[in-house]
Structure 1
Amino acid sequence: MSNVTAALPRKSMMDHERKFLKIAGEGLAQEKVGGALALAYLLDMVASWHATRVNIEFGDYCKRWVAEGNAKSKTADRLLRNLLGLDDNPPPRRIRRAA
């Protein structure tokens, strides 16, 4: 019997992902309603991303995690969607000017 186990893929965050987490953490910590819970979900996202064997960028993983409904609090879900650019509101239309 062998005691060899398969190695998990090595994951590391890019500089912009680390900066995003720092800014997001500070911003969510200042939110009076749902911020603490959203911050806990953000921490869960980081841990889940590190645990998954799928080779996926952190930002893409976060968007999928939220889109799958893993944030069970409506307020925290809204905050995370806003943070990740997944708002339900479409961007405002541009006003075309007559030529």
Structure 2
Amino acid sequence: MTSVTNAAPRKILTSGERDFLKQGNRLLLDKPNGRIGAAALMDMVADWGNHRGSLGFQDYARRWITEGHAKNQIANQLLRELFGLNDPDPRKAA
């Protein structure tokens, strides 16, 4: 009898996603405390690679950030800026 296990879905970044990650990493490193954000970005990529679901990277990244998986407030803020997830200031919306 042969034991067969289901393989995790293969994760492949599109060329646009690869470019986004390279440029995003450079942008983060140019900011104050950018190394913290860059480290969190790499954590996110690693978590996506290990995630057994078939969610694309961009969707996974936005969910990862909004669910609060960044290790600290600085990383959270930098990633929100990078992915365009900044909450508008309610005072400016009025």
Task: Give the TM-score, by structure 1 length.
Answer: 0.83
Q: Which runs of 5+ in 2 are unaligned?
A: none
Alpha-carbon separation, structure 1, partners of 2:18 and 2:46:
14
State the one-letter code of the partner of 1:45: M
The CA RMSD measured in Å over matched residues stands at 1.6
Alignment: residue pair count: 91
Deviations 1:36-86 (A, max 9, x none): 111111001111111111111100100000000111311111110010010
Task: Give the TM-score, by structure 2 length.
Answer: 0.87
**Stretches of 4+ aligned residues off by more than 4 angstroms:** none
Q: Which has the larger radius of gyration?
A: 1
Alpha-carbon separation, structure 1, partners of 2:72 and 2:40:
10
Map 1:1-99 onto structure 2 (within 5 A). 2-33=2-33, 35-89=34-88
Alpha-carbon separation, structure 2, partners of 1:18 and 1:8:
21
- 1:32 offset after TM fit, Å? 2.0
